[in-house]
């Protein structure tokens, strides 16, 4: 099975989009009031799960680990 360039770029752009959503979710969690944090953490964890399912996603999250 071969991977075409369009498939590779599609995977990269999907990962980049998910990472942008993850960064946004972590920012929202950071500025949320204490009572709202349980609602915000679900979005962070769900997005992290989706990122980890992508090729290179675990490494990308590891690079961001200090932020969260």
Residue 26, pLDDT score: 95
Q: How far apart are CA 40 and CA 51, in angstroms?
A: 17
In the DSSP assignment, the letter for residue 32 is S
Q: What is the pTM of this model?
A: 0.79
Q: How far apart are CA 19 and CA 41, in angstroms?
A: 15
Nearest to 9 by CA among 1, 17, 24: 17
6 has a pLDDT exceeding 70: no
Ordered by start, the domain boundaries in the chain are 5-63
30 has a pLDDT exceeding 60: yes
1 has a pLDDT exceeding 60: no
Between the two ends of the chain, the Cα-to-Cα distance in Å is 37
């Amino acid at each position: 099975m071969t991977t075409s360039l369009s498939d590779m770029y599609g995977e990269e752009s999907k990962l980049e989009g998910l990472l942008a959503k993850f960064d946004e979710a972590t920012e929202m969690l950071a500025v949320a009031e204490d009572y709202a944090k349980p609602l915000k953490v679900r979005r962070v964890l769900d997005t992290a799960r989706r990122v980890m399912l992508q090729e290179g996603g675990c490494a990308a999250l590891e690079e961001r680990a200090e932020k969260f």
